[in-house]
Structure 1
Amino acid sequence: MVSEKKYITIEDLEKHNKPDDLWISIQGKVYNVTQWSKVHPGGDVLLLNMAGQDVTDAFIAFHPANVWGRLDKFFNGYHIKDYNVSDVSKDYRKLASVLVKAGMFEKKGHTFTYFLCFATLLFIGCVYGVLTSDSIIVHMLSAAMLGLSWIQMAYLGHDSGHYQALATRRWNKVAGILIGNCVTGISIAWWKWTHNAHHIACNSLDYDPDLQHLPMLAVSDTLFQSITSKFYERKLTFDPVAKFFISYQHLTYYPVMCVARVNLYLQTLLLLCSKRKIADRGLNIFGTLVFWTWFPLLVSCLPNWTERVMFVLVSFCVCAVQHVQFTLNHFAGDTYVGPPKGTNWFEKQSEGTININCYPWMDWFYGGLQFQLEHHLFPRLPRRQLRSVSPLVKELCKKHNLPYRSLSFIEANVTTLKTLKTAAMQARGLLWEAVNTHG
């Protein structure tokens, strides 16, 4: 005898949005993932941010087909009453189905191997130049090669972190630790923690950590209200120090990007030393120690402290190109306040991202992230497939009157600087007002 279906409303579902009472729905079926959130491979932040909602589109974006069969053990017997799907979501799901049937998620090609060899050659060239030459010019060229190697390694780490580089989850994890922790010094655990949250809450001022850079940078005057970061669980204080720095951020933007790696190293250290539950903490710590062994040793091989400082600065400045690119993809996008909604997944990804135009022969330089919207909609899609998917995404945006912003590298820089300058002028007004008021 088939039991009668039990139904709850969306309003009932929304009540189950706490860490100790966490329900979600996928395609109208309700799942209790309270315990699963504690061991979720993508971290608990993703589930907590979308707790009490229908998360079908986000689930499709992040999970392969073989995961669907594992949902049954979380099913709590309820279905959503009057379950509705928007036209945008219907088309998004159709497109995702087409890509799956075409095998595009499995067609990884040899991209990872090619670029790993390229990055390794750059790294070897750097070491060779430092160890075998007495020329300061060669040493600075070696530093530049190290910066370029870090850029390519970061793209490979990004690919492995999204499980799109290699065939199995285990090998992607190994690649992430070797590339991220050992070679670049940036923990793959830290990257997953922040990056997955960024994908889910793209351009939410209080939920997306990639927009929370006070006191140095602010993309919206909403941040002047000292809002609370739901990610870091602390107030983003807009104090006099922040007012001062933000007032000149359009002038300090590029210099800040040149030393951005220092912040990433610090963030890695803070996370690995924190009490937060971290997957593979031991491996992440070991990999990070590997980096802080070989990198200081390499720098120490230079003949004097002047060259050593210059070497580090040059490598950081070259790598700044990548940090700039990361900000170009989102700083000038539309922002909002509040948690992400499962019912407007496509819309928020479209509104919060900016693509970078480039010729196919320049794809290596951008690591696939020039197709930022395509990547956000299908984060598991291998980067070699993004260009072929781009026309389909563009057509879907046009159909539903959604933005598909694709700018040249120069245009994206100009647009980002305008966004920063607008916020700077607003902050400057508040700064002068405070000075005149309090002397």
Structure 2
Amino acid sequence: MEVEKKYITSEELLKHNKPGDLWISIQGKVYNVTEWAKEHPGGDTPFINLAGHDVTDAFIAYHPGTAWAYLDRLFTGFHLKDFQVSEISKDYRKLASEFSKQGLFEKKGHVTMYSLISVAVMMFLVVYGVLKSESVLVHLGCAMILGMLWIQSAYVGHDSGHSNVMSSRGFNKLAQILSGNCLTGISIAWWKWTHNAHHISCNSLDHDPDLQHIPVFAVSTSFFRTLTSHFYGRKLEFDSLARFFVSYQHFTFYPVMCVARVNLFVQTLLLLFSTRKVPDRALNIMGILVFWTWFPLLVSYLPNWPERVMFVLASFAVCSLQHIQFCLNHFSANVYVGKPTGNDWFEKQASGTLDISCSTWMDWFFGGLQFQLEHHLFPRMPRCQLRKISPIVVELCKKHNLPYRSLSFWDANVRTIRTLRTAALQARDLTNPVPKNLLWEAVNTHG
């Protein structure tokens, strides 16, 4: 006997969008994810940002086909009465299905193995050069190699964080801790927390933590109105201090990027020793202790303090290329204020991203993330497949009149600096007063 379906409207679904009452819709079926949000491997941020909406596209993007079987226990018994699928969503889902049938999500190549081998070789060269040579130039070269090691190691951590690049979940977690915590000093738990929010709310000024750099940077004049960060749970005050820094941000961008790792170290420590629920907290702390054992010890073997300072700054400066790349992918793309609605997945990803065009032989340097839109649309896609699917994504953007931006590394830098300069010049307008505030209130911290 067929059971009569029960329905609710999109307006009624939207009422369940607060912590403690989180409902979503997938393919028109309504699920209560309030309790599941506490256990969700990706954290509760995706649910908090997308609750109250149909999230089919985001679910498809982040989950393999096996995940559908787990939804039944969360089903409320309701269906969405006014459920509709846009033409772009239909095409996106069809594309995801075709890629799955072709096995593109499983064909990972040997990228991870090659990356780990290159990281091991670079680590050997760095340690050998520091311990066995007395040459300042050799030590400088070792520092530059260490910067490249951090870049490549971060890509391994990124890949393993998005999908299982190893033979089992246990080995995958080991790869994350080694490549992230132990080698770079940046917690994979911190990365997952911020990175999931970034993907779900790509380029939302008040929900995407990757754009919330007040008082140092402001990519939009919307920050001049003092926004509330829903990720950090505090106001992003645009006070006199922020105005001063932002007014010169197009000059300070590259110098700040050279020491940006210091902020990442601080953010890692703030999260791991906060009262928030942190998955594998003890394991993450152990990994961080490994880094803060070998790195200072290595630096201590250098003969004097000038060389030690040179070594640290040089390694940070080389690694800044990766920090710059991440900024290029989003700083000059379109931004908005508010939550994503969940049913505009493709549009929001296309609007908020910028690709970097490069030759095939440079893929190792960019770690696949030069195909930023492709990665945002299909985050589980191994990086070795992104170049292959890029022409298909371009055609889909053309079909639906959506932006597809792909610039050279140089042009992307020019565009980013121009964006920062435009905001900087407007920040200097002294006819727009800002409230005075304490430095601590404006610093981008959490805990």
TM-score (norm 2): 0.96
Letter in structure 1 aligned against 2:20: D
Q: Which residue of 2 aligns with 1:261?
A: 261
**1:3-33 CA-partner distances (Å, limit 9, x unpaired):** 1110000011001112111110000000011
Distance 1:430 1:21 in 2: 44
Q: Which residue of 2 aligns with 1:328?
A: 328
Specify the SS of the correspondent of 2:77. Answer: strand
Distance 1:10 1:129 in 2: 63
The answer to whether the 8 Å contact 1:205/1:211 transfers is yes
1:432 positional shift: 8.7
The answer to whether the 8 Å contact 1:108/1:164 transfers is no
Identity %: 66
- Deviant stretches of 4+, over 4 Å: 431-435
Distance 1:156 1:168 in 2: 15
Distance 2:128 2:428 in 1: 48
Letter in structure 2 aligned against 1:194: T
Q: Which residue of 1 aligns with 2:65?
A: 65
Q: Which residue of 1 aligns with 2:243?
A: 243
Q: Which residue of 2 aligns with 1:408?
A: 408
Q: Which residue of 2 aligns with 1:365?
A: 365
Letter in structure 2 aligned against 1:71: L
Specify the SS of the correspondent of 1:343. Answer: coil
Letter in structure 1 aligned against 2:161: G
Letter in structure 1 aligned against 2:233: E
Q: Which residue of 2 aligns with 1:51?
A: 51
Q: Which residue of 2 aligns with 1:196?
A: 196
Specify the SS of the correspondent of 1:216. Answer: coil
The answer to whether the 8 Å contact 2:238/2:434 transfers is no
Specify the SS of the correspondent of 2:320. Answer: helix
TM-score (norm 1): 0.98
The answer to whether the 8 Å contact 1:157/1:176 transfers is yes
Q: Which residue of 2 aligns with 1:89?
A: 89
Q: Which residue of 2 aligns with 1:24?
A: 24
Q: Which residue of 2 aligns with 1:297?
A: 297
Q: Which residue of 2 aligns with 1:183?
A: 183
Q: Which residue of 1 aligns with 2:42?
A: 42
**Aligned residue pair count:** 435
The answer to whether the 8 Å contact 2:239/2:434 transfers is no
The answer to whether the 8 Å contact 1:201/1:207 transfers is yes
The answer to whether the 8 Å contact 1:331/1:416 transfers is yes
Letter in structure 2 aligned against 1:412: A
Letter in structure 2 aligned against 1:367: G
Q: Which residue of 2 aligns with 1:283?
A: 283
1:165 positional shift: 2.2
1:268 positional shift: 0.1
Unaligned runs of 5+ in 1: none
| 1:91-130 superposed matches below 5 A | 91-130=91-130
Letter in structure 1 aligned against 2:386: L
The answer to whether the 8 Å contact 2:14/2:52 transfers is yes
Specify the SS of the correspondent of 2:428. Answer: helix
**1:175-222 CA-partner distances (Å, limit 9, x unpaired):** 111110000000000000000000000000000000000111110000
Distance 1:168 1:351 in 2: 35
| 1:129-144 superposed matches below 5 A | 129-144=129-144
Specify the SS of the correspondent of 1:175. Answer: helix
Distance 1:399 1:379 in 2: 22
Letter in structure 2 aligned against 1:241: L
**1:116-155 CA-partner distances (Å, limit 9, x unpaired):** 1112111110111000000111001000000000000001
**1:270-306 CA-partner distances (Å, limit 9, x unpaired):** 0001000010000000000000000000000000111
The answer to whether the 8 Å contact 1:164/1:382 transfers is no
Distance 2:308 2:144 in 1: 13
The answer to whether the 8 Å contact 1:244/1:431 transfers is no
Letter in structure 2 aligned against 1:62: Y
Q: Which residue of 2 aligns with 1:397?
A: 397
The answer to whether the 8 Å contact 2:204/2:337 transfers is yes
Q: Over aligned residue pairs, what C-alpha RMSD do you find?
A: 1.2
**1:60-100 CA-partner distances (Å, limit 9, x unpaired):** 00001111111101011000003100001000000000000
The answer to whether the 8 Å contact 1:208/1:231 transfers is yes
Letter in structure 2 aligned against 1:134: E
Q: Which residue of 2 aligns with 1:227?
A: 227
Distance 1:264 1:297 in 2: 20
Q: Which residue of 1 aligns with 2:443?
A: none
Letter in structure 2 aligned against 1:290: V
1:430 positional shift: 3.3
1:434 positional shift: 7.2
Specify the SS of the correspondent of 1:78. Answer: strand
Q: Which residue of 1 aligns with 2:9?
A: 9
Letter in structure 2 aligned against 1:108: K
The answer to whether the 8 Å contact 1:112/1:156 transfers is yes
